[in-house]
Amino acid sequence: MDIVVCSECGGNMPRFEIVGGAEKDWTNEARPTCGQCRGVPGAKPLQRKRDVLGGFPWKRDETGKKVPK
């Protein structure tokens, strides 16, 4: 997935988005703006899924069970 940085809030957003029925490429814009900054209802910042191999390291709690750091 290609990611673009919003020019207003600095959050991540997808490079391609469907706007008004047409696909829009945000890399062609001088100031890309995420859906949340544009006021799109229900829009949330993009969160990349992380796993153990490419994400955050694990730590153990007081019982020895693995928990996210």
The pLDDT of residue 18 is 83
Domain ranges of the chain: 1-40
* Residue keyed to tokens 């750091």: 69
The pLDDT of residue 65 is 82
The pLDDT of residue 50 is 61
d(CA 65, CA 49): 22
Contact 44, 12 (CB under 8 A): no
Over residues 18-54, the pLDDT tens digits come to 878 888 888 888 888 888 888 888 887 777 666 556 5
Sign of CA dihedral 11, 12, 15, 19: negative
d(CA 12, CA 9): 9
Mean pLDDT of 8-18: 85
